[in-house]
């Protein structure tokens, strides 16, 4: 799965999080920080992770989530890592 | 504990009312003797699983809300959209339906009160709002997802706690209006609504706060409804408008309803000095417990002591008694005889708003408090609908040697219970509410003189 394909999927997830301003979703990059750039409430990060598991058909370990950073590339890396882990 | 010279005024109100578009519609329907009770499709959908199917319920659409369902847990309301743009999404994310109603009621009450942002956001402004909370769709789906479907806890998202915790209504209101004073919830079953207002009154009366947003809510919940349905205490066998029939000899249970009532209380001199409209002045609040160890049965001695406590310091007699009047066989008889024991058989009238909208549980005391405020404003007494025939015989408990109350049958008090709204001079109203656990609450309010 290509990284941009994952980012596009993440943007679709972010559109369902009503506490994120949809106007900020136009130029999401790997360096976008969910908290600093999108002003996402920290409580919503677990919702994004859970929806990513469903969308990309992966299951994160608890350690994966505990160690997850707040940038888009962090969750892209995790999704690829878990897919490779199989 | 009272601070000399401090009085408490009611300066605003708002809420959520079954089958009504808002407070004005609620006012119009109540004082034209309409019933707000309907057949409930959500209950009917369960066929023979459920015994009673009438309710004063409120749908999301009726409140201008739309449910956003989770893709991770079937049927789980992930959040709500306010189609009318009254509540920001960040506040909706932490709210269940009842909390949203509380926030909407608070906004309306503050607007009516005319509080500035600096007054609302002061450390002298508190929030005291509670609910009965006997069941909840958020917890039901989250628990089913975890325990029955064996899914991870995170699939229910990160808001099951803030949306279901005991004082969620107060917390959500506080986060919305950004007050810096007290934020708490009082829970006392079906006396919750009045209990929160009474506690708020004391906070101001005792000099701890200058303003308080107070009340009770009970979000529409089939989970709550079926708990009471299983107890066989809900009304059945009547058309919706005739299902709630307090004091009628053929009453067979209460109508389980939902709603919210929020009021703005303010220290009287502060309200007066800024030219606020004083809807009512609170004379006194008193509450106690039966002390007989009985979770459910009403207590005549407990209610006797309630009346003594309410009138002890003021000696004020009401022109109208807004009763709890649930339409249950046991509750109504004890209550009517307690009122008659305290006030005699003339000089006042009894109003039973549950006859029009059913029993809103944790919201009942607050919504009925608003009904009493409207009676003061309109100078009209709301009826006791469907109280067609009062028992001409003595109640069984009246024939026992230990009975120490009035020895007249309920029918002797027929003249106190109007079946239609009527006008009269109303200077003072007493409001009564009781709850499981033997808790009793009473408040006395007066017109500003």
Neighbours of A11 (CB within 10 A): 15
A50–B155 CB contact, under 8 Å: yes
CB contact under 8 A, B90 and A43: no
φ/ψ of residue B249, rounded to 5: -65, -25
Chain B residues in contact with A43 by the CB 8 A cut-off are 93, 158-159
Indicate the DSSP class of residue A20. S
Residue B2 confidence (pLDDT) above 80: no
Interface test mutation site (partner A, options B71, B83, B149, max chain A beta carbons within 10 A):
B71
As a whole number, the mean pLDDT across chain B is: 97
Task: Tell me whether residues B158 and A19 touch, CB distance under 8 A.
Answer: no
* pLDDT (average), residues B273-283: 98
> Closest Cα of chain A to B151: distance in Å?
11
pLDDT, tens digit (0-9, with 9 covering 90-100), for B357-406: 999 999 999 999 999 999 999 999 999 999 999 999 999 999 999 999 99
B159 is catalytic: no
pLDDT > 70 in chain B, percent: 100
**B324 part of the active site:** yes
Cβ contact B34:B394 at 8 Å: no
Of B148, B355, B150, nearest in space to B245 by CA: B355
Using an 8 Å CB-CB cutoff, list chain A residues near B90.
19, 41
**Which chain B residue shows the shortest CA-CA distance from A22?**
B89
The residue-averaged pLDDT of B348-356 equals 98
What DSSP character marks residue A33? Answer: B
pLDDT at res. A86: 76
What pTM, to 2 d.p., does this model score?
Answer: 0.97
> Is residue A2 classed as helix, strand or coil in its secondary structure?
coil
The tens digit of pLDDT for each residue in A60-80 reads: 999 999 999 999 999 999 999
Q: Is B235 exposed, middle or buried (0-12, 13-18, 19+ CB in 10 A)?
A: buried
Cross-chain Cβ contact B154/A16 below 8 Å: no
A70 in contact with chain B, both atoms CB, cutoff 8 A:
no
Label each residue of chain B as H, E or C.
Answer: CCCCCCCEEEEEEEEECCCCCCHHHHHHHHCCCCCCCEECHHHHCCHHHCCCCEECCCCCHHHCEEEEECCCCCCCEEEEEECCCCCCHHHHCCCCHHHHHHHHHHHHHHHHHCCCHHHHCCCCEEEEEEECCCCCHHHHHHHHHHHHCCCCHHHHCCCCCCCCCCCHHHHHHHHHHCCCCCEECCCCHHHHHHHHHHHHHHHHHCCCCCEEEEEEEECCCHHHHHHHHHCCCECCCCCHHHCCCCCCCCCCCECECCEEEEEEEEEHHHHHHCCCCCCEEEEEEEEEECCCCCCCCCCHHHHHHHHHHHHHCCCCCCCEEECCCCCCHHHHHHHHHHHHHHHCCCCCEEECCHHHHCECHHHHHHHHHHHHHHHHHHCEECCCCCCCCCCCCCCHHHHCCCCCCCCCCHHHHHHHCCCCCEECCCCEEEEEEEECCCEEEEEEEECCC
What's the pLDDT at B1? 62
The whole-number pLDDT of residue A1 equals: 78
Mutate to test the interface with A, among B90, B92, B146, B154 (most CBs of A within 10 A): B154
The mean pLDDT of B67-77, rounded to a whole number, is 96
Residue B428 phi, psi (nearest 5): -150, 140
Chain B: nearest CA to A50, how far in angstroms? 6
Which residues of chain A are within 8 Å of residue B89 when distances are taken between CB atoms?
18-19
pLDDT digits (tens, 9 = 90+) for A6-59: 999 999 999 999 999 999 999 999 999 999 999 999 999 999 999 999 999 999
Catalytic residue among B175, B183, B190, B431: B190
Across the interface, of A19, A49, A54, the residue whose CB is closest to B71 is: A54
Q: Do residues B81 and B281 lie in contact, with contact meaning Cβ atoms separated by under 8 Å?
A: no
Binary contact (B81, A18; C-beta < 8 A): yes
The tens digit of pLDDT for each residue in B224-267 reads: 999 999 999 999 999 999 999 999 999 999 999 999 999 999 99
> Does B93 contact A41 at a Cβ distance shorter than 8 Å?
yes
Q: Give residue B27's pLDDT.
A: 98
Q: In chain A, what residues touch B68 (CB-CB under 8 Å)?
A: 16, 18
Whole-number pLDDT of residue B80: 97
Host H or E run for residue A82: helix A72-85
Average confidence (pLDDT) over B52-60: 98
Q: Is A39 an interface residue toward B (CB < 8 Å)?
A: no
Nearest alpha-carbon partner for B353 in B329, B332, B333, B369? B369
Q: Are B129 and B173 in contact (CB under 8 A)?
A: yes
B359 is catalytic: yes
Residues of B in contact with A50 (CB under 8 A): 72, 152, 154-155, 157
**Sheet of B349-351: strands edge to edge?**
B183-184, B125-131, B211-218, B259-267, B8-16, B280-289, B439-446, B428-435, B320-322, B349-351
* HSE value, Cβ hemisphere, 13 Å, CA-based, for B218: 34
Within an 8 Å CB–CB cutoff, is residue B79 touching chain A? yes
* CA-based nearest residue in chain B for residue A43: B158
ipTM of the complex: 0.92
Q: Both tokens of residue B48?
A: 């023979």
Q: Looking at B136, B175, B256, B324, which residue is catalytic?
A: B324
Which of B72, B49, B126, B135 minimizes the C-alpha distance to B98?
B135
What tens digit of pLDDT does each residue of B100-154 get? Answer: 999 999 999 999 999 999 999 999 999 999 999 877 899 999 999 999 999 999 9
CA distance B58 to B259: 7
Q: Label residue B5 by pLDDT band (50, 70, 90).
A: confident
Q: How far is A59 from chain B (nearest CA, A)?
A: 10
């Amino acid at each position: 799965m290509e990284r941009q394909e994952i980012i596009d999927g993440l943007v679709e997830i972010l559109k369902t999080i009503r506490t994120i301003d949809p106007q900020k979703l136009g130029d999401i990059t790997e360096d976008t920080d969910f908290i600093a750039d999108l002003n996402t409430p920290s409580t919503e990060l677990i919702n994004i992770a859970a929806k990513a598991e469903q969308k990309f058909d992966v299951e994160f370990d608890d350690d994966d989530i505990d160690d997850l950073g707040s940038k888009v590339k962090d969750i892209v890396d995790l999704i690829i890592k878990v897919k490779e882990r199989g | 504990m009272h601070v000399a010279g401090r009085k408490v005024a009611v300066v605003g109100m708002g809420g959520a009312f079954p089958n009504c578009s808002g407070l004005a519609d609620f006012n119009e329907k109540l004082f034209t003797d309409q019933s707000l009770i309907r057949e409930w499709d959500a209950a009917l959908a369960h066929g023979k699983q459920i015994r009673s199917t009438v309710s004063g319920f409120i749908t999301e659409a009726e409140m201008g809300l739309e449910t956003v369902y989770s893709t991770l847990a079937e049927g789980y309301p992930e959040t709500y959209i306010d189609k009318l743009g009254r509540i920001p999404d960040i506040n909706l994310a932490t709210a269940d339906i009842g909390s949203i109603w509380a926030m909407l009621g608070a906004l309306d009450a503050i607007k009516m009160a005319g509080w500035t942002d600096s007054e609302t956001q002061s450390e002298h402004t508190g929030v005291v709002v509670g609910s009965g909370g006997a069941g909840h769709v958020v917890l039901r789906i989250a628990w089913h997802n975890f325990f029955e479907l064996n899914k991870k806890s995170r699939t229910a998202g990160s808001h099951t706690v803030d949306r279901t915790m005991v004082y969620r209504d107060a917390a959500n209101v506080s986060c919305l209006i950004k007050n810096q004073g007290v934020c708490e919830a009082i829970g006392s079953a079906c006396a919750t609504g009045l209990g929160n207002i009474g506690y708020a009154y004391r906070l101001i009366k005792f000099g701890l706060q200058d303003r308080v947003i107070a009340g009770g809510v009970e979000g529409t919940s089939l989970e709550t409804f079926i708990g009471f349905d299983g107890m066989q205490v809900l009304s059945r066998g009547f058309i919706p408008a005739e299902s709630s029939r307090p004091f009628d000899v053929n009453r067979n249970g209460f109508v389980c309803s939902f709603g919210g009532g929020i009021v703005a209380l303010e220290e009287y001199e502060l309200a007066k000095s800024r030219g606020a409209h004083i809807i009512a002045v609170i004379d006194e609040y008193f509450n106690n417990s039966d002390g007989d160890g009985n979770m459910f049965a009403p207590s005549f001695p407990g209610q006797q002591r309630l009346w003594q406590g309410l009138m002890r310091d003021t000696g004020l007699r009401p022109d109208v008694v807004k009763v709890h009047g649930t339409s249950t066989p046991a509750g109504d008889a004890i209550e009517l005889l307690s009122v008659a024991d305290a006030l005699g058989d003339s000089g006042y009238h009894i109003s039973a708003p549950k006859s029009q909208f059913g029993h809103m549980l944790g919201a009942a005391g607050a919504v009925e408090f608003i009904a009493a405020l409207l009676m003061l404003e309109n100078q009209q007494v709301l009826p006791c609908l469907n109280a067609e025939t009062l028992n001409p015989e003595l109640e069984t408990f009246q024939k026992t040697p230990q009975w120490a109350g009035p020895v007249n049958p309920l029918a002797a008090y027929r003249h106190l219970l109007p079946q239609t709204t009527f006008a009269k001079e109303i200077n003072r109203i007493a409001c009564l509410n009781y709850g499981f656990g033997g808790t009793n609450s009473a408040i006395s309010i007066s017109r500003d003189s």
